Structures are given as structure tokens and as C-alpha cells.
């Protein structure tokens, strides 16, 4: 790791202005991904702005929504009683990620900004357009068991590794950011982007912008929800495919549904068409299977990840079944 300067920011505004002075400066909070990337020289900032002292750790229930500070720890949110009660889907997704030690360190903002786990991104001897633009995509034609089946491009078939983000995408969250040009809000589903021919950009955050909080509007998804994470071992592994399923069931009829997948795209993959289909339907395996088939429209695999075309819909049915039977 190259050496760097580090300064402590005392307000979001000073954080933004101190990062603004240097090109290769970066914010650091939990560090669980950034320090790892710095050790591998994938990230090599000259300066770090330590934002951990900022007052952005609170979970506040406001009228019609909950606001979660960008510096709230993953474990703090996962184990917050009110979050568990009102947004159990978020708590479940968070608890499925990484290990408890990492959840104690990692922040909500950092979780959103974590880079892909694609092996070609991490192995600096390999080609990767995300790491080194124009160097090629190693995963296409290579080892791509983890890779995307939706929204990929010829430049990149990497997936976003977060569990939390899949839940936030399903819950219609909003991201609040502050930057050199002031504050703005981004719809969570617009926060992460598809790779296109610029896979080096993971999200729509503008240069030097800082995530300050996320907001989740109130909803009725506090009972029939499930986060299903399918992976190569029982815990402490990234998802091959994950599914968040949230159902609002009245008299065995689905009055509304939320469905999103992780491990399948460059961003959390919201399944709006399937959600629409489920609306008004009675709970049944056939309904769920039909929704799953709708959800898989346009899916494309790359060899090693062909199984995701089967696993994906099966996982959707499984998650919906478990959610509906709670």
C-alpha cells in the first residue's frame, strides 16, 4: 500500500471541501472494502478523508419514513428493534451479509459503494475494464460463475455484491447526498448503474459527492417478507443469487409485492414486471412460478453461470413461498 495523508472531517461540508482539493482523495469510514482495495493497489488515494466523526449515524423514524445515517453500522441497522419491526426485509438482508465483525465495521454508505467481487477485478494481473478501462473483460470467456445474467455489456459482466442494497432497492429507498454543488436526492434504483461501456463507474454519484443518509418510505411489508441468499457455503460467502421478496397479503390475495434480486446484475435488480403481475393474485406456487418466469425475461448467461438461469426463477419461487407462509 502506498502511503497517504489522512485528515478527519468535522462536518459533511468540510469533508466535501477537503476532498475537493485533491484528485485522488477518497472518503473513508468502515474501510472494510477500501482498505482491502488499497492493499491490492486497486485503490491508491494520496489522501483519505476520515468521515467517521460526522454526525451521520442515527436511525430516525420521521413522519412517513425512516432516515438512516450513512455512517450507521450494518450491524446497528440489522439489530435495530424498530427496523426489525417496520423493515424486517432490510434487517434480514443485512444480517446475511459478510460476518458479524465486518458488519460491526461496515457502514450503510460504504456498503452501497463496495466494489464488485469479480475475480478479474481483484486479480491485478488479469484484464478488467472496471479496474483498468479498455483492458478487456476477463470474465467473458473466462471464469464467470459469479457473473451477471441481466443488464451486462460486452465490457463488463460483473455483479454488485451487496445484500443490503437488494433490500433497499425493493423498498423504494432514496439516497441523500451532499457535494460541491450542494445537496440532492437519488432514487435508490437509480443509484447503481449498468456497466455499458464505462464499467469503471459503479454508480451515479457525482465526483466528490458524499452519501449522508438513506430514507425508506413507510410500507406494509412487515410480515410476509424473506431474504433468500443462495451461496456456495452456509455463511460468510457472497451471493450467487439472492432474492428479496416482500408481500402484502390480505385474505390470501397479494395486494402489493416487492421483488428484487442480487448477484445477477451490475446493480440490485428490481423485478417490477413480476411485482405488477403478482398484484391482485392469490397466493399459489403457480402464481409464483409465473412471476418468476416473467422476472427472468431477457436473462443471458455466459457459460459458468448458466445455472443462474435455473437457479434464479427457483430462488424467486422459494423466496415468495417462504415469505407468503410467514
Partner 1 sequence: MSKTSNINRVDGFAKVTGSATYSAEYKTDGVVYACLVGSTIAKGKIKSIDTKKAEWAPGVLAVITHLNVDKPSGYQKAKDKHNFGQPLQIFKDDSILYYDQPIALVIADTFERMQYAASLIKADYFKEEHSTELKKAADKEKKVETDKGNDYHRGEHDGYKNAEVVLETEYTIPTEVHNPMELANIIAKWEGNKPILYTKSQGVEGTRRSVAGVFDVPAEDVEVHAEYVGGAFGMGLHTWPYEIAALIGAKKLNRPVKLVLHREQMFTNVGFRPYTIQKMGLGATKDGKLTGLTHEAVAMTSSYEDFMEGTVNMSRFIYDCANVSTRYRIVPLDTCTPIWMRGPGEATGSFALECAMDEMAYKLDLDPIEFRKRNYAEKDLEQNKPWSSKYLLECYEGGMERIGWKNRKNKPGSVREGEWLVGYGMGTGTFGCYRSPTSVKAKFSADGNLILQCSVNDMGPGTATMMTAIGAEIMGMPVENVIIEMGKSGLPKGPTQGGSATTSSVGSAVHDSCNLLVSKILGLANETPTFKGIPIADLTFANGLISSKNNSKTVSLASLLASNKLEDFAVEKQSKGNEEARKYSIYSFSVHFVKVLVNPNIGKIRLAHVVSCADIGTVISQKTSAGQMFGGAVGGIGMGLMEALEIDHRFGRPINNNFADYHVPVNADIEKQEVFFVNKKDPISNPMGTKGLGETALVGMAPAIANAVFNATGKRVRDLPITLDKIIETAKV
Partner 2 sequence: MASKKTNQSKETEENSSSRRDFIKKSGLLTALAFTPPSLVMASENKWDEKIAEYLETVPLSIEVNGKKHNLNIEPRTTLLDLLREQLHLTGTKKGCDHGQCGACTVHVNGTRILSCLTLATMQQNAQVTTIEGLSKGKKLHPMQEAFIKHDGFQCGYCTPGQIMSGIACIKEGHANSREEIREYMSGNICRCGAYHNIVDAITEVKEGGMLS
Q: Which stretch, 1-9, 24-32, 169-177, 196-204, contacts partner 1 (CB under 8 A)?
A: 1-9
**Dihedral sign, Cα of residue 125, residue 128, residue 132, residue 133:** positive
Residue with smaller CB distance to partner 1, 120 or 191: 120
Q: Which stretch, 13-21, 193-201, 232-240, 296-304, contacts partner 2 (CB under 8 A)?
A: 232-240
Cβ 298 to partner 1 shortest distance, Å: 18
Binders of partner 2 in range 178-217 (CB under 8 A): none
Query: What sections of 106-230 are H helices per DSSP?
Result: 108-113, 119-122, 164-170, 188-191
The site map against partner 1 for 136-155 (x = CB under 8 A) is: --x--xxx-x----------
Q: Give which of partner 1, partner 2, none residue 63 binds (C-beta under 5 to 8 Å, depending on kind).
A: none
DSSP string computed for 216-244: EE--S-SSEEEEEEE-SSSSSS--SEEEE
SS3 assignment, position 125: coil
Residue with smaller CB distance to partner 2, 8 or 145: 8
Cβ 246 to partner 1 shortest distance, Å: 19
Q: Give which of partner 2, partner 1, none residue 104 binds (C-beta under 5 to 8 Å, depending on kind).
A: partner 2
Burial 141-153 (b: 16+ CB within 10 A, else e): ebbbebbbbbbbb
| Phi-psi domain of 280 (left: phi exceeds 0; alpha: psi -120 through 50; beta: other) | left
> Closest Cα partner for 121 from 161, 87, 85?
161
Q: Which stretch, 99-107, 187-195, 199-207, 313-321, contacts partner 2 (CB under 8 A)?
A: 99-107
Cβ 233 to partner 2 shortest distance, Å: 8
CA distances from 242 to 167, 182, 279 (A): 10, 35, 22
> Closest Cα partner for 299 from 116, 147, 129?
147
Residue with smaller CB distance to partner 2, 81 or 134: 81
Q: Give which of partner 2, partner 1, none residue 32 binds (C-beta under 5 to 8 Å, depending on kind).
A: partner 2
Biggest alpha carbon–alpha carbon distance for the chain: 61
Binders of partner 2 in range 38-57 (CB under 8 A): 38-39, 46, 48, 50, 52
Is residue 159 within the footprint of partner 2 (CB under 8 A)? no
CA distances from 23 to 182, 208, 225 (A): 19, 9, 43
Positions touching partner 2 (CB under 8 A) are 1-6, 28, 31-32, 35-36, 38-39, 46, 48, 50, 52, 79, 98-102, 104-105, 234-236
Amino acid at each position: 500500500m502506498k502511503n497517504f495523508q489522512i485528515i478527519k472531517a468535522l462536518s459533511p461540508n468540510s469533508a466535501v471541501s477537503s476532498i475537493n482539493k485533491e484528485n485522488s482523495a477518497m472518503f473513508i469510514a468502515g474501510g472494510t472494502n477500501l482498505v482491502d482495495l488499497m492493499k491490492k493497489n486497486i485503490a491508491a488515494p494520496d489522501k483519505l478523508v476520515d468521515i467517521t466523526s460526522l454526525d451521520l449515524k442515527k436511525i430516525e423514524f420521521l413522519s412517513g419514513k425512516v432516515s438512516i445515517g450513512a455512517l450507521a453500522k450494518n450491524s446497528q441497522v440489522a439489530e435495530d428493534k424498530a427496523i426489525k419491526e417496520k423493515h424486517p426485509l432490510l434487517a434480514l438482508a443485512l444480517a446475511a451479509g459478510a460476518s458479524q465483525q465486518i458488519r460491526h465495521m461496515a457502514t450503510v454508505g460504504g456498503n452501497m459503494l463496495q466494489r464488485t467481487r469479480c475475480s478479474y477485478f481483484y486479480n491485478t494481473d488479469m484484464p478488467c475494464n472496471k479496474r483498468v478501462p479498455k483492458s478487456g473483460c476477463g470474465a467473458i470467456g473466462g471464469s464467470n460463475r459469479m457473473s451477471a445474467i441481466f443488464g451486462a455489456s460486452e465490457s463488463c459482466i460483473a455483479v454488485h455484491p451487496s445484500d443490503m442494497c437488494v433490500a433497499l432497492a425493493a423498498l423504494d429507498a432514496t439516497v441523500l447526498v451532499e457535494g460541491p454543488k450542494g445537496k440532492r436526492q437519488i432514487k435508490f434504483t437509480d443509484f447503481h448503474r449498468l456497466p455499458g461501456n464505462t464499467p469503471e463507474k459503479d454508480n451515479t454519484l457525482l465526483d466528490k459527492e458524499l452519501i449522508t443518509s438513506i430514507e425508506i418510505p413507510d410500507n406494509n411489508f412487515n410480515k410476509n417478507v424473506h431474504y433468500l441468499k443462495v451461496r456456495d457455503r452456509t455463511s460468510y460467502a457472497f451471493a450467487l443469487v439472492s432474492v428479496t421478496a416482500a408481500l402484502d397479503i390480505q385474505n390470501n390475495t397479494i395486494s402489493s409485492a416487492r421483488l428484487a434480486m442480487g448477484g445477477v446484475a451490475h446493480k440490485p435488480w428490481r423485478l417490477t414486471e413480476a411485482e405488477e403481475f403478482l398484484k391482485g393474485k392469490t397466493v399459489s406456487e403457480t402464481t409464483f412460478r409465473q412471476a418468476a418466469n416473467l422476472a427472468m425475461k431477457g436473462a443471458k448467461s455466459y457459460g459458468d453461470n448458466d445455472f443462474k438461469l435455473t437457479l434464479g426463477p427457483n430462488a424467486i419461487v422459494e423466496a415468495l413461498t417462504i415469505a407468503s407462509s410467514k
